[in-house]
Chain A
Amino acid sequence: MAIKNQEAWGSRIGLVLAMAGNAVGLGNFLRFPAQAIQNGGGAFIIPYLVCFVLMGIPLLYVEWAMGRYGGKSGQHSAPFMFDALDKRFFWKYLGVLGIFTNLAIAAYYCYLESWTMSWAYHSVAGHFMGKTQAEVSAFFSSYIGLTTVEPVVFWILCVLLNTWVLSRGLKGGVELAAKIGMPLLLIFGVILAVRGVTLTAGEHGAVYNGVLGLSYLWEPDFSSIWDPVVWRNAAGQIFFTLSLGMGCVHCYASYVKSGDDIALNAMSAGWMNEFVEVVLGSAIIIPIAVGYLGVDKVIEMTKGGSGFGIGFVTLPFLFAQWGALLSALAGFMWFGLLFFAGITSSLAMGTPCMAFMEDNFNWDRRKAAWTVGAAVLLLGIPCVLSQEAFNEFDYWVGTVSLVVFALAEVILFAWIFGMEKGWKEITDGADITVPIVFKHIIKYVTPVFLLVVFFGSAPEMWAVLTKKITPYVAVARILLAGLFVGIARLVYIAHRKPGAL
């Protein structure tokens, strides 16, 4: 097979920032604080960090090592990376999930990302000024109800922007975006976090001090540590926040040459994500919302385990209490921060699909990028039109598929490829000493963790599978099944080509 894919990272910092950007997403700021409030407050950090060490870090090592190993044979996407580790035919078809998941998540994620562009524009234009909370809420409902063409315009703009950046390649597109986006995200995050925790009762209509929100968030309820649901939620949060089980980490790492470090890079990117999530993520929406609405109202608003309502409805209204200039600045920084968190993740979702076409069908990156953009737009149509289709995509791809893929990869890496060879791959060229205990954690503990997460979700999966099928749910399921079969067919064709691996 001719190796045409000549992409490369420009610098190590660029790789680490792109990897961290891949992990940092909207969930760092909207999902984590809501999950913490609903799962024992400050005590949630204990199962959360235990899951980070026993599942997050091991899977980061596995995915980086699989990626670099696949890159040695010129493969930058999951199907043939799996094939490189074991030649039995079914592994490459399990690896299809590493392309399928990215395309399907990008389909609805770009739509969410486009909301942040729109909200940033409306904040700067002062459109939330003078509105009551009910009016901001009505604006949100009208927006997602597609009563104007604006959501579609922003969505198309967002997909075009992602596609254009991807078409500029790894170094000139993805890496450059991360080098601009990540520092800005950190600066905006620190400014908003300081504003959140220094919010004082009586200032700009605030009823309580912002620190009350922080206090509530961190007040530990140690009895929650014995609740299995809390552990499952902590494992789920770690899983999703690190963008594990998608194939993006593999793809980015596949451009690292044999003998270069992956262990330190993985730790730096992983811990950077944790900093953004725990330190910054906990200090923005909850302190500001509690400062105006009080603890009880915020608990009620985070009941679903998501802070989307607070992020997109409550915060614009609260910012508007700060006066025209501060409100515009705060809105721009908040939605700008969410936008940078979103785009650095959606770019990561585009790269494995592009790499697959470049590696196996000798496509150039522009053709691959615009094809991925077109696919994301087409797949995204039902998600834009219907909340039901959106939820269906989110559940089957954004939840179930990730866990199945991660379970497959850890079994393949630790049990089929073998932990001795696997450990050598992880530590080859390492700039840090990787504690030997991770060798055993990867082999025994991480697969058990993933099995518990998977089987713990089985009743919910059954309930979703057997619920009433509406036309949009049917369309979403047909599209997802068709996408998987289509990619599997491409893998089959690539495998049968003369000179294929």
Chain B
Amino acid sequence: MSAKALLMLISAEAAITAFTVYFFWKVVTTPPKPAPDSFPDSGNI
């Protein structure tokens, strides 16, 4: 694999993976809003 291809692959995939993990982590760790919110099973992921 050429250096250019490797650079494109690593930079694109690392950025996308980082954003995906960050936002999903925020969803999982953000405390639920006070009831009644949109999710009757709040707390049960």
Given contacts A11-B39, A42-B9, A259-B33, contact A431 B26 (CB under 8 A): yes
Q: What are 30 residue pairs bridging A and B, where the CB atoms are less than 8 Å apart in the complex? A: A8-B38, A8-B40, A11-B44, A13-B45, A42-B4, A42-B9, A211-B1, A214-B1, A215-B2, A219-B2, A220-B4, A220-B5, A255-B38, A259-B33, A260-B33, A260-B37, A261-B30, A261-B33, A264-B23, A264-B26, A267-B19, A268-B24, A268-B27, A271-B16, A271-B24, A274-B20, A278-B13, A279-B16, A429-B33, A432-B26
Judged by a CB distance under 8 angstroms, whether A345 is at the interface is no
CA distance A10 to B32 in the complex (A): 13
Establish whether residues A10 and B37, one from each chain, have CB atoms under 8 Å apart when the complex forms. no
With beta carbons under 8 angstroms apart, the residue of A49, A218, A264, A431 that contacts B9 is A218
Establish whether residues A274 and B16, one from each chain, have CB atoms under 8 Å apart when the complex forms. yes
Establish whether residues A218 and B5, one from each chain, have CB atoms under 8 Å apart when the complex forms. yes
Least CB separation from A267: chain B residue: B23
Which residues of A195-219 have CB atoms within 8 Å of chain B's CB atoms? 211, 214-215, 218-219
Min CB gap B16→A, angstroms: 5
Establish whether residues A10 and B1, one from each chain, have CB atoms under 8 Å apart when the complex forms. no
Which residues of A269-290 have CB atoms within 8 Å of chain B's CB atoms? 271-272, 274-275, 278-279
Min CB gap B28→A, angstroms: 7
Establish whether residues B41 and A11, one from each chain, have CB atoms under 8 Å apart when the complex forms. yes
With beta carbons under 8 angstroms apart, the residue of A220, A256, A264, A279 that contacts B27 is A264
Q: For A432, what are the chain B residues with a Cβ–Cβ distance below 8 Å?
A: 23, 26
Establish whether residues A12 and B39, one from each chain, have CB atoms under 8 Å apart when the complex forms. yes
Judged by a CB distance under 8 angstroms, whether A265 is at the interface is yes
Establish whether residues B44 and A43, one from each chain, have CB atoms under 8 Å apart when the complex forms. no
Establish whether residues A12 and B8, one from each chain, have CB atoms under 8 Å apart when the complex forms. no
Judged by a CB distance under 8 angstroms, whether A419 is at the interface is no
Q: For B23, what are the chain A residues with a Cβ–Cβ distance below 8 Å?
A: 264, 267-268, 271-272, 432
With beta carbons under 8 angstroms apart, the residue of B2, B16, B40 that contacts A275 is B16
Q: For A211, what are the chain B residues with a Cβ–Cβ distance below 8 Å?
A: 1
Q: For A178, what are the chain B residues with a Cβ–Cβ distance below 8 Å?
A: none
Least CB separation from A49: chain B residue: B12
Using A42-B8, A264-B26, A271-B20 as known contacts, list a sample of 4 further A-B pairs with CB atoms less than 8 Å apart, ordered by residue number in A: A220-B5, A267-B23, A268-B24, A278-B12
CA distance A113 to B13 in the complex (A): 28
Q: For B44, what are the chain A residues with a Cβ–Cβ distance below 8 Å?
A: 10-11
Establish whether residues A13 and B28, one from each chain, have CB atoms under 8 Å apart when the complex forms. yes
Establish whether residues A431 and B8, one from each chain, have CB atoms under 8 Å apart when the complex forms. no
